[in-house]
Amino acid sequence: MTKISAFESSKRNLELCMMAPVIPVLIIEDLSTAKNLGEALVAGGLPVLEVTLRTDCALDVISEMAKIKGGIVGAGTLITCQDVKNAVNAGATFGVAPGATDKLIAACEEAGLPLLAGATSASEAMKLLERGYSVQKFFPAQAAGGAAFLKSLSSPLPQITFCPTGGVSLENAKDYLDSSNVKCVGGSWVAPKDAIKNRDWDQIQQLASDSVRVLS
């Protein structure tokens, strides 16, 4: 990949956020479930998938999901520069981080990986905006003030678009999406652990399509 600027990164992430109201946040422990899980979510109308780097097989999962027609796969929980390199090599086309550091941002820019960096406070959001990152992750959303907090930022910081993640569910997602500074949410409810374990791909596809129907 070629280098990417903060502006280009934000532009790409805004495009991703507007593709569907939910970005599934996936913690996959069994590589053999990756293909069917990804296909079920894409078929249900959720093409943008975030695979968190929290399991031993996560990078292999990214590689498998990168082959799915219509799917766009990114790597979540980027913490180190090595995480960035590994994610790109695995086929990730965007990255997500719980926060942001100078080294991590530089590594993503150097690798050409659009970064959805996390912010929790107005100051953190302003620092990212100062660097050119106008599309940000708000994490942990519910614990950090929820939809009411994000809505309160829309007036003083209208330049920033957020993707709230952490404690977001089908029941409260609409509260976030009703705010002008939120284009999508990140959530794991569309891929419950039990459904993945039981390989109930029909249930997962239905959860995805229900989320699109209710939240669009």
| Residue 50 is a catalytic residue | yes
120, 90 Cβ separation under 8 angstroms:
no
62, 90 Cβ separation under 8 angstroms:
yes
Tell me the one-letter amino acid at 26: L
Burial string for 68-82 (b: 16+ CB within 10 Å, else e) reads beebbbbbbbbeebe
Nearest to 115 by CA among 2, 5, 1: 5
Q: Can you name the residues that pair with 22 across neighbouring β-strands?
A: 185
| Residue 137 is a catalytic residue | yes
* Catalytic residue of the set 50, 64, 109, 183: 50
31, 64 Cβ separation under 8 angstroms:
yes
Nearest to 64 by CA among 87, 86, 31, 42: 31
* Catalytic residue of the set 39, 64, 137, 183: 137
Residues forming the active site: 50, 137
